[in-house]
Amino acid sequence: MKSKLCKILSVLLVLVMCISVFTACNDTEPVDEEEIDETPEKEATIIGADNISIEELSEFDPLEGVSAKGTDGKDATSNIEVTGEVDTLKSGEYELTYKLKGTDLSVTRVVTVTSVEAVLANGTYNFKFASADTRHTFMAAAEDYLLHNQHGGVPLFANAGFNLFSSRMQLASETNLPILGFGVVYSTMAADDSNVLMEDGEKGNAGEYTYRIGERENPSEWNQWKSDDATTGDLMDDYYDFVYRYEFNEDKSGYALVPSMASEDPISIEGRELPNGKVVSRKWQIKIRDGLEWKFNENTDTSMITDTSINATDFYETYKIALTEKWFRAISGGGDFCTSTHKIFNAQEYVDGTAEWEDVGIKLIDDNTIEFHYVDEQSQWNVKYGLASYILTPINIELYEALGERYGIDEKSIAYHGPYYVDYYESDKVVRMKKNDLYHDADRFFYTGRNIYIISEAEMEFQEFVAGKLDAVVLPAAHYEEYKNHPGLKRIPGATTFRININGFGTRENQIEQFPESQWEPEPILANHDFKMGLFHAIDRKKLAEEVMKTSQTQMHLFSNAYVVEAETGIPYRDTPQGMAVGSDLSPSTHGYNLDAARAYFDQALDSLVGEGVYNSGDEITIEFYYFSGSETQELMASYLKDAMEEAFMSEKHNIKVIVDVMPKDFPGIYYDHMMIGEFDTALGGIRGSVLDAAGFLDIFSSDNRGGFTINWGVDTSVPEITVLYMNMEGELVKEIWSFDAIYSALTGEIEIVDGAEVKEEEQ
């Protein structure tokens, strides 16, 4: 019985197997038994991406403590993608999104950065040689402070413009670069002078290439150590050399500072290496190039000249004379020996008569070497930068001793050592330069000559360009529409931000405290912070620059994109992340213009001033605005500002309005007779600083007039009220409170800070 049952089961098993085979044979796609995964699918997960709270300055890794598993239950942490950012330097809520690649899984996480209390800065600081990031951070903090208080005046526009170049000009650079611009000095020409007109109306000579431009004024001085105006300086750039000269870098994307009269880079003596690898020292030696020669005008009496070579002795003797005679550029010219960031040890004491020449930090080491002992530590770049000027070059000692006070009275009473020399000068007509064949690198410069025509009026100069007598000219605003598509038109960034400068003393008592002899009555509302912010928002800067003035540059900041903080990098400060963040909450999309905000600020100002009884319902507040006379463009600008301010400052709430009286004032009297002595309400003004030292230019905004050219009054920049988050020298993120003045001092040298404020020398 059992045997029969086994047979029956065997038959059934065979039938089942046959059916299975038959079914498999009839499938359209055979099944690969090795691909069958019978593991049930699971739900993918992201673990640990919970909402979190962290403190400012703390380190945060968005993936720390976060993991993931895929649908197969295996670890998939490496497949997490995170979008969003957390700024640990700024308190607030930040949203991050975590996604798992290959799935639809997405998790949102909120990271709350809580504020850390700032502490007053205390200690000895020196950011002159700090990292670019640190220097940019402090520079931006200082500018942002000025912009949110209008302590530096209300920015209006930058003095940018357009240049027109003749068709024969072949510019070294098609883009404008810091310092070098379009490289006109290194440019070439496609046609010689026989194709163009010279000053006499006749065509020039074949084989000669003369660069022809105009200047408004005659040169006022020929001795570089006494010069103090831009026109004279522009000419001296061509006929005097530099110890170090700006050249294009290898790919012409920027500049390099290379030896010219020097034979090599400065050599540190007793230097020390900072943690960032930069070497600093107070003593530096400069090696002077062999083969330098003096060049003279053919009408110069050279009978007293016994040696035409130039060596370190010429530099040394010149520096001694410049300080002994107290020549302007030696004692107060910006790049001088006594007051600049390149102060020489005991130079001021020598000038004051309290030190002997032997005590001054200028030493002649040998015929080819001169040594500088600076008051403050300098890097190699700082030294080169300080010597990258025609000013700190020698005069001819033998000629000077023969001529005495007559040295430098004309083109025949000096000696030359630059790429060109002045062959002929006629007052109110022309300065004619020729190529200096004795120059050590004469082949570097293409032009065979440079003619500078003295043309007092802009329109006349422009017409000379149109007539073919000039190779370059500034395009007048009146001709912009006609020439805006000209192939030779080039935009020039502005280095000067013009601003509404404000007498913000507010009361007669404050006015007299600063200027005891003043009879001026300050307008109270001009001391009010809310009103100043209203002024900032009342100006449509794009309309002002591009429609009213036409060729100016729209500018809501105090520093244009012409300025560099870290000269070694050459990156415009405005293009750095820190620079771009300045004023980010002040309507940057409209360049600060916000009429509603202006009116609201005006009402807020009146809320306080009416409550104090300063103004009453029905008052008309008259504010004078001074502008530069003699310019149609200036008149248009003043008219626009009057309309803009009167439109913004008409309060229905208080029944009070502002009336603006616009008044032209001659230049430079608008500075010396009005703004610099506090005899004004508001006035147009702007000071240009060194474009490669934006931080060093901050002194012009200090309320103690340390820069000697304050034109905005009634503020106090010594008060610690600027919060700065930065990485200190120990690599720690810190949050400190600084005064504006302290920031300036720390960016330019060593300074002791107590409770956020700088300690003055007399307090130490």
Domain ends where: 441, 472, 492?
A: 492
Q: Residue 38: what pLDDT?
A: 53
**CA pair distance 309, 417, nearest whole angstrom:** 10
| Residue 405 shares a structural domain with residue 462 | no
Segment holding 439, helix H or strand E: none
Q: Residue 688: what pLDDT?
A: 86
**CA pair distance 760, 478, nearest whole angstrom:** 50
Q: Residue 762: what pLDDT?
A: 59
Q: Which residues are bridge partners to 82 per DSSP?
A: 98
The verdict on residue 268 lying in a domain is yes
Backbone dihedral angles phi then psi of residue 742, each to the nearest 5 degrees:
-65, -40
Intervals of the chain under pLDDT 70: 1-41, 761-764
Q: Residue 571: what pLDDT?
A: 87
The verdict on residue 427 lying in a domain is yes
Domain ends where: 355, 387, 417?
A: 417
The verdict on residue 170 lying in a domain is yes
Q: Residue 380: what pLDDT?
A: 95
Nearest to 627 by CA among 544, 553, 560, 558: 544
The verdict on residue 726 lying in a domain is no
Nearest to 302 by CA among 396, 369, 395: 396
| Residue 286 shares a structural domain with residue 393 | yes
**CA pair distance 694, 561, nearest whole angstrom:** 11
Do the beta carbons of residue 202 and residue 210 sit within 8 Å? Answer: no
Q: CATH no. for residue 548?
A: 3.10.105.10
Q: Give the model confidence (pLDDT) of 62-106 as tens digits.
A: 999 999 999 998 999 999 999 999 988 788 999 999 999 999 999
| Residue 334 shares a structural domain with residue 209 | no
Q: Which two tokens stand for residue 492?
A: 């020039």
DSSP 625: E
Do the beta carbons of residue 649 and residue 461 sit within 8 Å? Answer: no
Instruction: For the chain, give the longest Cα–Cα distance.
Output: 149
Nearest to 239 by CA among 202, 280, 289, 294: 294
The verdict on residue 90 lying in a domain is no
The verdict on residue 9 lying in a domain is yes
Q: Which residues are bridge partners to 663 per DSSP?
A: 626
Angle, in degrees to the nearest 10, between helices 529-538 and 132-149? 100
Q: Residue 40: what pLDDT?
A: 60
Domain ends where: 492, 508, 537?
A: 492
| Residue 289 shares a structural domain with residue 370 | yes
**CA pair distance 338, 344, nearest whole angstrom:** 6
Do the beta carbons of residue 477 and residue 633 sit within 8 Å? Answer: yes
**CA pair distance 563, 560, nearest whole angstrom:** 6
| Residue 664 shares a structural domain with residue 630 | yes
Domain that holds residue 20: 2-35
**CA pair distance 313, 336, nearest whole angstrom:** 19
Q: Which two tokens stand for residue 392?
A: 């700190």
| Residue 661 shares a structural domain with residue 615 | yes
| Residue 277 shares a structural domain with residue 335 | yes
Number of domains into which the chain is organized: 4
Do the beta carbons of residue 246 and residue 257 sit within 8 Å? Answer: yes
To which residue do tokens 């194709």 refer?
A: 195
Q: Which two tokens stand for residue 360?
A: 């001054």
Whole-structure pTM value:
0.76
| Residue 622 shares a structural domain with residue 476 | no
Strand locations in 180-301, DSSP E?
A: 188-189, 210-215, 244-248, 255-259, 267-269, 272-273, 279-287
Q: Give the model confidence (pLDDT) of 146-178 as tens digits.
A: 999 999 999 999 988 899 999 999 999 998 888
Q: CATH no. for residue 248?
A: 3.90.76.10
Do the beta carbons of residue 695 and residue 702 sit within 8 Å? Answer: no
The verdict on residue 205 lying in a domain is yes
The verdict on residue 502 lying in a domain is yes
Cα atoms in the 13 Å half-sphere on the side-chain side of 633: 19
Nearest to 432 by CA among 443, 446, 415, 447: 447
Reduced to 3 states (helix: H, G, I; strand: E, B; else coil), residue 588 is helix
Q: Which long-range contacts (CB under 8 A, 24 or more apart) does 354-362 make?
A: 357/320, 357/324, 360/323, 361/283, 362/316, 362/319, 362/320, 362/337
Segment holding 503, helix H or strand E: none
| Residue 354 shares a structural domain with residue 385 | yes
**CA pair distance 136, 143, nearest whole angstrom:** 10
Q: Residue 178: what pLDDT?
A: 84
| Residue 233 shares a structural domain with residue 322 | yes
Q: CATH no. for residue 453?
A: 3.40.190.10
Find all residues with CB under 8 Å of 170, minimum gap 6, and list them. 187, 188, 189, 190
**CA pair distance 373, 457, nearest whole angstrom:** 46
User: Amino acid identity, residue 353?
Assistant: G
Our measurement of the distance from residue 275's CA atom to the centroid of its chain's CA atoms, rounded to an integer in Å, reads: 26
In this structure, the number of other CB atoms found within 10 A of the CB of residue 172 comes to: 17
Q: Residue 3: what pLDDT?
A: 41
DSSP 261: S
Torsion over CA: 215, 216, 217, 223 (sign): negative
User: Amino acid identity, residue 613?
Assistant: G
Torsion over CA: 501, 507, 513, 515 (sign): positive
Give DSSP secondary structure letters for 635-701: HHHHHHHHHHHHHH-EETTTTEEEEEEEEEE-TTHIIIIIGGGT--SEEEE-----TT-TGGGGGGG
Q: Which residues are bridge partners to 364 per DSSP?
A: 370
| Residue 500 shares a structural domain with residue 521 | yes
**CA pair distance 80, 505, nearest whole angstrom:** 60
Helices (H), 80-225: 132-149
Strand locations in 39-114, DSSP E?
A: 45-47, 52-55, 67-69, 80-83, 92-100, 106-114
| Residue 254 shares a structural domain with residue 283 | yes
Q: Residue 254: what pLDDT?
A: 87
At residue 213's C-alpha, the angle toward residues 388 and 629, to 5°, is: 90
Reduced to 3 states (helix: H, G, I; strand: E, B; else coil), residue 378 is strand
